[in-house]
Amino acid sequence: MHAKRFIVLIVSLILLHSSWGPQFKFLCNPVLACHGCALSWFACPIGVFIHYSGWHSFPFLAIGTVLLVGVLIGRLLCGWICPFGFLQEILYKIPTPKFELPRWTAAIKYPILFFLVFYFPYKFGELTMFSFCRICPAGTLESAIPAYITSGFPQSIFSILLRLGALLIVLFLVIGNNRSFCKIICPIGTILGILNKIAFWQVPKPQTQCISCKKCDKACPTSISPSTKFSKQIPVNRDINCILCYECVYSCPETDQIDKKRR
Amino acid sequence: MSNNNIEKNIRILSLLLAIVLLLVSGFKKHRVLTTSDNTLPGNTNQPLLYVTNVNEFLMTEYATYSGIQKDEKGNLIIKTNKAGFLSETSSSINQTSSDKQACPT
């Protein structure tokens, strides 16, 4: 991880999750950070979508915010602000056998977004067991586990098992495959990833022919193979899984290849 | 029309749509029934019901702590105490207190 990004991730983690900060719970910050956390400054757009679906109302503010951020900067916040993304990259450094995910897993995120964020809450209400908040690993870490510690376990053993089981599965996945949660599950990442295709912000293309050293491919946390995009002169962040972390740019040995003015 | 132009147009349209949605959210009001929480000390057993127009910002904030619930008739309901302040037990309409702890959202 590049030092600049590491510092930004640490600072944003502390700044956006600190009790002394202001409360902007009426605004959505499009990263996976649970608003149930007492230290959180902003609302989680997924939690807001789920509640609005249950209320059968249209979330003008939340959708407008996510759309605006997505169109302007795509998934930039996933790479530079998201606390759960940061945790995944830290966990991936644990020396264990690494594995590749099958291709079909990339499609899991779409039904998760449709059913667990919009359809089931719309059908069964915002407090349904079939909502993403019930299995959200960020929510479990930031809100549910602290609540279990301070207030005791809830009566429903099923909800505890569901939450902790989902968290364990996600932790197992991210230790073996970097940012796998972002690639195959994250609903905010899915929305912003679609908007990556049209975002104003672009990772700069190489100015000269790529020498195919593949260092960018090794540096990429989401394994989107930036070298193939560079060789085709396509902006890397047109890929749905690109989190605009700029690791490919920083790792490029031919520094003149990439227009530094746009870094 | 080339692909680049299509992409550019979609980008501009999406940006305009986002701005429109944000502008609408500035004016949008939600009709919500407010009820006094008769479970709180000092409140009467007969809950008072009155209509409140809640703006989008406040609705988003309510969503962060389940401040609004939907009843069987489809009405959105806020529970307040006698003084009109939001009740801390507002999210307990369909939940036990232990369930509320299990899912803070």
**Subunit contact A55:B65, Cβ cutoff 8 A:** no
- Asked if B77 is an interface residue toward chain A (Cβ–Cβ < 8 A), one would say no
Q: Which residues contact A261 (CB under 8 A, 6 or more apart)?
A: none
Q: Which of the 8 DSSP states describes residue A207? A: S
Write down the pLDDT at residue A137.
93
The ipTM is 0.86
Crossing angle of helices A45-55/B56-63, nearest 10°? 100
pTM of the model: 0.85
Task: Nearest chain B residue to A161 by CA: give it.
Answer: B102
How close is the nearest chain B Cα to the Cα of A155, in Å? 6
Average pLDDT estimate for A80-94: 92
pLDDT per residue, tens digit, chain B (105 aa), is 577 788 889 999 999 999 999 999 999 888 888 776 555 555 555 556 677 788 889 888 888 877 788 877 778 887 654 444 454 444 333 333 333 333 444
Measured in degrees and rounded to the nearest 5, phi and psi for residue B49 equal: -125, 130
Amino acid type, A61: L
Higher pLDDT, A129 or A258: A129
Name the 3-class secondary structure at A181: helix
How close is the nearest chain A Cα to the Cα of B75, in Å? 9
Name the 3-class secondary structure at B52: strand
List the single range of A93-107, A165-179, A232-246, B31-45 with lowest mean pLDDT: B31-45
Write down the pLDDT at residue B83.
46
Write down the pLDDT at residue B88.
43
- Count residue pairs from A and B with Cβ separation < 8 A: 139
Closest CB to B63 among A34, A43, A64: A43
Give strand pairing partners of B50.
B34
Measured in degrees and rounded to the nearest 5, phi and psi for residue A204 equal: -60, 145
Amino acid type, A254: E
**Subunit contact A147:B65, Cβ cutoff 8 A:** no
Residues of chain B in contact with residue A35, where contact means CB-CB under 8 angstroms, are: 64-65, 105
**Subunit contact A61:B61, Cβ cutoff 8 A:** no
Higher pLDDT, A33 or B92: A33
Crossing angle of helices B56-63/B3-27, nearest 10°? 90
Report the C-alpha gap between B46 and A103 in whole angstroms.
59
Write down the pLDDT at residue B104.
45
Tell me which residue of A46, A53, A65 sits closest to A113, measured CA to CA: A46
**Subunit contact A68:B68, Cβ cutoff 8 A:** no
Give strand pairing partners of A28.
A43
Residues of chain A in contact with residue B103, where contact means CB-CB under 8 angstroms, are: 36, 127, 133-134, 139, 144, 159
Q: Which helix (H) or strand (E) holds B6?
A: helix B3-27
Task: Nearest chain B residue to A44 by CA: give it.
Answer: B64
* pLDDT-based confidence at residue A259 (cuts at 50, 70, 90): low
Dig out the tokens for A96 from the structure: 């264990």
* Most confident among A29-43, A84-98, B74-88 (mean pLDDT): A84-98
